[in-house]
């Protein structure tokens, strides 16, 4: 029986183990925030932003950021229809209305023209999700947001290492969020990060992240507002610090794997994650979208990969196709691409022979 090829797993070395061990043995009492403070400081420096707050998840970071902006009942938030539910859940939790727009056929990120058309007097924010390491068209989106006086937010959960015309993904919006889930390019197991250049917004989210206790409040155990409990542990942050020292290696390996797929499949009727001029694709999840004419469909791909003991993920279904929301079949591209696409394995220590097995399945499906 062939050894199973997982679609992803983290790259953990002795460095991460040493940092986590130190945090577990010594990171208590007066040192209980030591690795958290370091992780936030070094992550902000890497990204080129003023402020960072380590959180328990990307979803929690997004929830707090939206809450700090005052988004709630009666407000609308625009985002792409093809996304994981984590991007829309905080919108719903706050009582606001998500407005799903179609995606671009090449980047699979939200279509700026559709965003412009969807804006109403109730629109308060745009969530730009950098899907699978691809980067949204941030210049156009920033112009739209500024022209309409609405917040542009980056969900960079999947975009560690991506760059847009000299700016790192996550450094261009009113605020941005990152995920360090075990499937991501860098990990803390579970965990996330809120980042911003807006000092006032930073203070608001910092307060919300600690049960509503404002920094500098002299009264012990005194909340100033009702907040949340979305904090990262010191042990998780220790792993994050170690991963961040290796970030160029981690992103570089992801990009090498994506390039290997591109090289092997360049003559076939399909497309992989794009990299337009002036951008760097973070290459978190190499994804193949087959041409409509190829006749290859997701169900066939899933069966073919399963038969070869290879884990492959389906492309995100449109959120408007789920039971929680009204269908938006007018988002034609968002409803079409998931029917002929698949996410490919891309863990850091993947061998050439494993890559070759994945490629062979794709070629077989194409006949």
Q: Which residue is associated with the tokens 């290879």?
A: 310
Are 341 and 298 in contact by the 8 Å Cβ rule? The answer is yes
Q: Residue 322's pLDDT band (boundaries 50, 70, 90)?
A: very high
Query: For the chain, what are the domain ranges?
Result: 14-245, 247-365
Are 209 and 230 in contact by the 8 Å Cβ rule? The answer is yes
324: Cβ contacts below 8 Å, ≥ 6 apart: 92
Write the pLDDT tens digit of every residue in 4-61: 999 999 999 999 999 999 999 999 999 999 999 999 999 999 999 999 999 999 999 9
Q: With 0-12 CB in 10 A as exposed, 13-18 as middle and 19+ as buried, what is 182?
A: middle
pLDDT at residue 1 is higher than 80 = no
Percent of the chain with pLDDT over 90: 97
> Topology of 14-245 in CATH?
3.40.640
Percent of the chain with pLDDT over 70: 100
Residue range 200-211: mean pLDDT, rounded? 96
Write the pLDDT tens digit of every residue in 117-175: 999 999 999 999 999 999 999 999 999 999 999 999 999 999 999 999 999 999 999 99
Q: What is the pLDDT of residue 147?
A: 97
The reply to whether domains 14-245 and 247-365 share a CATH topology is no
* Average pLDDT of the residues of the chain: 97
71: Cβ contacts below 8 Å, ≥ 6 apart: 77, 91, 94, 96, 124, 125
Residue range 300-304: mean pLDDT, rounded? 95
Q: What is the pLDDT of residue 118?
A: 98
The CATH number of 247-365, from 3.30.260.10, 3.90.1150.10, 3.40.228.10, 3.40.50.150, is 3.90.1150.10
């Amino acid at each position: 029986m062939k050894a199973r090829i997982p679609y992803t797993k983290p790259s953990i070395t002795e460095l991460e183990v040493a940092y986590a061990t130190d945090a577990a043995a010594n990171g208590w009492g007066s040192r209980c925030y030591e690795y958290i403070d370091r992780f936030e400081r070094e992550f902000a420096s890497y990204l080129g932003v003023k402020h960072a707050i380590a959180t328990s998840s990307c979803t929690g970071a997004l929830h707090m950021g939206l809450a700090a902006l005052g988004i709630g009942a009666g407000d609308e938030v625009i985002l792409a229809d093809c996304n994981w539910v984590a991007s829309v859940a905080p919108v719903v939790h706050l009582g606001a209305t998500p407005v799903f727009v179609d995606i671009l056929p090449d980047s699979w990120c939200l279509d700026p023209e559709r965003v412009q058309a969807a804006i109403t007097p109730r629109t308060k924010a745009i969530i730009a999700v950098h899907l699978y390491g691809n980067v949204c068209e941030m210049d156009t989106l920033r112009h739209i947001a500024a022209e309409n006086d609405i917040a542009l937010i980056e969900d960079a959960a999947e975009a560690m290492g991506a760059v847009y015309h000299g700016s790192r993904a996550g450094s261009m919006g009113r605020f941005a969020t990152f995920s360090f889930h075990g499937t991501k390019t860098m990990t803390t197991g579970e965990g996330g990060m809120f980042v911003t250049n807006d000092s006032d917004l930073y203070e608001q989210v910092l307060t919300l992240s600690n049960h509503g206790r404002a920094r500098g409040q002299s009264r012990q155990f005194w909340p100033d507002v009702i907040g949340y409990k979305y904090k990262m542990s010191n042990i998780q942050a220790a792993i994050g610090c170690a991963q961040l020292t290796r970030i160029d290696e981690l992103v570089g390996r992801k990009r090498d794997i994506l390039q290997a797929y591109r090289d092997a499949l360049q003559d076939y009727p399909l497309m992989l994650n794009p990299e337009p001029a002036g951008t760097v694709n973070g290459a978190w999840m190499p994804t193949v979208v087959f041409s409509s004419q190829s006749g290859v469909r997701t169900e066939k791909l899933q069966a073919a990969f399963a038969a070869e003991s290879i884990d492959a993920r389906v492309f995100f279904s449109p959120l408007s196709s789920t039971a929680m929301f009204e269908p938006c079949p007018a988002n034609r591209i968002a409803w079409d691409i998931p029917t002929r696409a698949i996410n490919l394995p891309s863990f850091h220590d993947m061998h050439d022979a494993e890559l070759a097995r994945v490629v062979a399945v794709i070629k077989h499906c194409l006949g």
